[in-house]
Amino acid sequence: MAKGYWMSAYREIIDADKLAAYVALAATAVQGNGGRFLVRGGQMQPKEDAVAERTVLVEFDSYEQALAAYESPAYQEALKALDGGVVRDLRIVEGVD
């Protein structure tokens, strides 16, 4: 079974307080739904057409688990705390078997 991943790139942080509130709630929601943080900010070197922006990568045991974690009540509560605090690109993708 292929793993599932959340890939997030933060284009703009508008409200650092909202982001902090989201991070606290989201970490619990993600880990409570089986997610493991592989990348959470840190150093990065943009190449080609990339830009330097906060990047987060979360791994789940399956693509279906990744989708379910996003829809979970705990994660939806985290999204409410983030509302309007950032502009980001979040993708849920299936890994390679």
Please report whether residue 55 resides in a domain: no
Range of the domain at 85: 1-37+63-97
Q: What is the pLDDT of residue 32?
A: 96
Beta strands in 22-96 (DSSP E): 36-40, 55-60, 86-94
The string of pLDDT tens digits covering residues 62-80 is 999 999 999 999 999 999 9
19 is written with which tokens? 């982001």
Please report whether residue 1 resides in a domain: yes
Please report whether residue 54 resides in a domain: no
Compute the half-sphere exposure of residue 59: CA atoms within 13 Å on the CB side of its CA. Answer: 9
CATH number of the domain encompassing residue 25? 3.30.70.100
Please report whether residue 45 resides in a domain: no
Mean pLDDT of 75-96: 96
Flag whether pLDDT at 52 surpasses 90.
no
The domain total for the chain is 1
pLDDT band of residue 51 (cuts 50, 70, 90) is confident
Beta bridge partners of 30: none
- Cα(48)–Cα(44) distance, rounded to whole angstroms? 13
Q: What is the pLDDT of residue 2?
A: 94
Flag whether pLDDT at 29 surpasses 90.
yes
